[in-house]
Amino acid sequence: MTGLLETTIDALILLVSLDAELWKIVAISFSVSLQAVLYTAPVGFLVGFLLAYTSFHGRKVAISIVNTLWAVPAVVVGLTLYLLLSRAGPMGDWQWLFTQKAMILGQMLLSLPVIIVMAHTAFQAGDRRAWETALTLGATPMRAVFTVMFEVRYGLAAAMIAAFGRVIAEVGCSMMVGGNILHHTRNIPTAIALETSKGAFTQGIALGIVLVLLALTLNFGVEFFRGRGSVQ
């Protein structure tokens, strides 16, 4: 018990001392995950809108597929990408394996179903009259889409926060396609896994504290935007 307390104190000291290696890992995590969510959000919003506001053959099947993809383990996505990006794979010429680009691509695939599902829910909960009114007033379909998006902006913000929370904490995909390379592709979850396997718990606990504080902040953010959206 004393050893755990001492290690936790050392971890806190490591955090507040602004250890360069530790905060480089944190920076890589935030950069990769933020890019993945920002690149994915426009596509996710559009698909969510189409699922909510259009009727087409196979719509229910499409919704079921997206919901299923949300539950796909990160390691499965990582394995699939690894096979595609390896030298023998169809995307091997890109030379993305063990790079941040591969990590961003993997996290985009993980965040996409989260954003689509939550955006679809937000659009369905919104006032459909905003869409009809915009078209009646002569707005183009794309302009009308932006009008509806503004009406449900809090729900869309919650979708992005939830997606960010999922991808920044995943380890399977990042480990497989990123390679856990120091100062390049080592992020918070992969660093925790490595340090724990070596028995060096100080940095692992410090990074774990960052993840816990981040998770708490993100959950507050999701609930805040959901609450704001419910009173529109």
- pTM: predicted TM-score of the whole model, two decimal places: 0.91
- Provide the residue count of the chain: 232
pLDDT of 135-155, one tens digit each?
888 888 899 999 999 999 999
Q: How far is CA 89 from CA 84, 92, 94, 100, in A?
A: 4, 5, 10, 18
pLDDT at 197 over 60: yes
Q: How far, in Å, CA of 191 to CA of 205, rounded?
A: 10
pLDDT at 231 over 60: no
pLDDT of 52-94, one tens digit each?
999 889 999 999 999 999 999 999 999 999 999 999 999 999 9
pLDDT of 158-169, one tens digit each?
999 999 999 999
User: Which one is predicted more confidently, 118 or 232?
Assistant: 118
CB 171 within 8 A of CB 187: no
Q: How far, in Å, CA of 178 to CA of 14, rounded?
A: 25
pLDDT at 126 over 70: yes
Q: How far, in Å, CA of 205 to CA of 7, rounded?
A: 8
Within the chain, residue ranges assigned H as helices are 2-16, 20-53, 59-70, 74-85, 100-125, 129-136, 141-151, 153-168, 172-178, 188-198, 201-230
- The pLDDT mean for the chain works out to 91
pLDDT of residue 224: 80
pLDDT of 15-57, one tens digit each?
999 899 999 999 999 999 999 999 999 999 999 999 999 988 9
